[in-house]
């Protein structure tokens, strides 16, 4: 049974504040914990800009969800997924605090599935204004790209090290994870039933951040990252050109119809 809209929006707000508060409160601990687990999928500090932007946009969603234009998408698409996701993020922080790393990994996989399902349902709705587009559609598109990155990065931070060197299985596995992220981004950019650039952009920027952090000293990760970013940029350009071609074709059809329309009547 669907939750009452007011209860649903309140839960979204309360759990968002809970997740943000938990992240902020344990920020130093999480930073130190991740720094103490160097691995081949760690991104540079610049890479934290994209997740920070995403949480900012989600904060905007929490505010704008109360407005009339957002009512249907919140009740029918976002539904219970976001507040459960917020609770998972808060719980994930605690799993690092208490060293429940396997549980934390399972939670992030569940979170990725939840956000993916939310994203698919949100994509059914067309943005009605710029606020709707930015704080609902873009925010959940970015989030959908980032949750899969979270899954891989948490796994490598929790269960791998750099002890084997840049030719170790850990480095090769990181390159494989980047290729999987490339596949997810490529799916969003070109092969999805409803292609979407924003999730692919988030993945491309985070992969670029990984390449910057690992550097040429880890050639298998560095080269894989650059190839993946180049491929995703190409996919985004191809999609943009395809959209321009579709727009031009529709414009030509409108002109043709307009020329054939009778002058009277």
Average pLDDT over residues 1-14: 89
Residues 198 and 123: beta-carbon distance below 8 Å: no
Average pLDDT over residues 132-156: 95
Q: Grade residue 218 by pLDDT with cuts at 50, 70 and 90.
A: very high
- pLDDT beyond 50 at 265: no
Q: Grade residue 262 by pLDDT with cuts at 50, 70 and 90.
A: low
pLDDT tens digit sequence for 78-122: 999 999 999 999 999 999 999 999 999 999 999 999 999 999 999
pTM of the prediction?
0.88
- pLDDT at res. 251: 64
Average pLDDT over residues 27-44: 91
- pLDDT at res. 260: 55
Tokens 């952009």 appear where? 201
Of 24-38, 125-139, 203-217, 239-253, the least confident: 239-253
- pLDDT beyond 90 at 7: yes
Q: Count CB-CB contacts under 10 A for residue 56.
A: 12
Question: Which of 202, 177, 201, 181 minimizes the C-alpha distance to 52?
Answer: 202
> Under 8 Å CB-to-CB from 8, ≥6 apart: which residues?
2, 74, 75, 78, 79, 80, 83
Who has greater pLDDT, 263 or 243? 243
- pLDDT beyond 80 at 217: yes
């Amino acid at each position: 049974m669907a939750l009452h809209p007011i209860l649903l929006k309140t839960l979204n707000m309360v759990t968002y504040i809970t997740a943000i508060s938990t992240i902020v409160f344990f920020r130093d601990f999480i930073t130190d914990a991740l720094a103490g687990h160097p691995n081949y999928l760690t991104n540079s500090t610049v890479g934290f800009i994209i997740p920070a932007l995403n949480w900012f946009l989600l904060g905007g969603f929490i505010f704008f969800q109360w407005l009339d234009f957002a009512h249907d998408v919140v009740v029918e698409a976002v539904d219970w997924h976001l507040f459960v996701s917020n609770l998972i993020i808060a719980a994930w922080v605690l799993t690092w605090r208490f060293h429940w790393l396997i549980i934390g990994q399972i939670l992030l996989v569940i979170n990725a599935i939840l956000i993916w399902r939310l994203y698919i349902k949100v994509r059914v709705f067309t943005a009605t204004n710029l606020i709707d587009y930015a704080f609902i559609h873009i925010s959940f598109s970015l989030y959908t790209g980032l949750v899969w990155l979270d899954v891989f990065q948490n796994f490598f931070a929790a269960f791998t090290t750099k002890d084997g060197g840049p030719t170790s299985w850990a480095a090769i596995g990181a390159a494989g994870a980047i290729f999987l992220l490339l596949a997810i981004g490529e799916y969003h950019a070109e092969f999805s039933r409803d292609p979407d650039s924003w999730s692919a952009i988030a993945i491309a920027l985070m992969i670029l951040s990984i390449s910057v952090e690992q550097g040429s000293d880890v050639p298998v990760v560095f080269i894989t990252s650059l190839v993946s970013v180049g491929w995703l940029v190409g996919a985004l350009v191809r999609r943009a050109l395809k959209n321009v071609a579709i727009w031009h074709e529709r414009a030509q059809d409108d002109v043709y119809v307009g020329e054939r329309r009778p002058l009277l009547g």
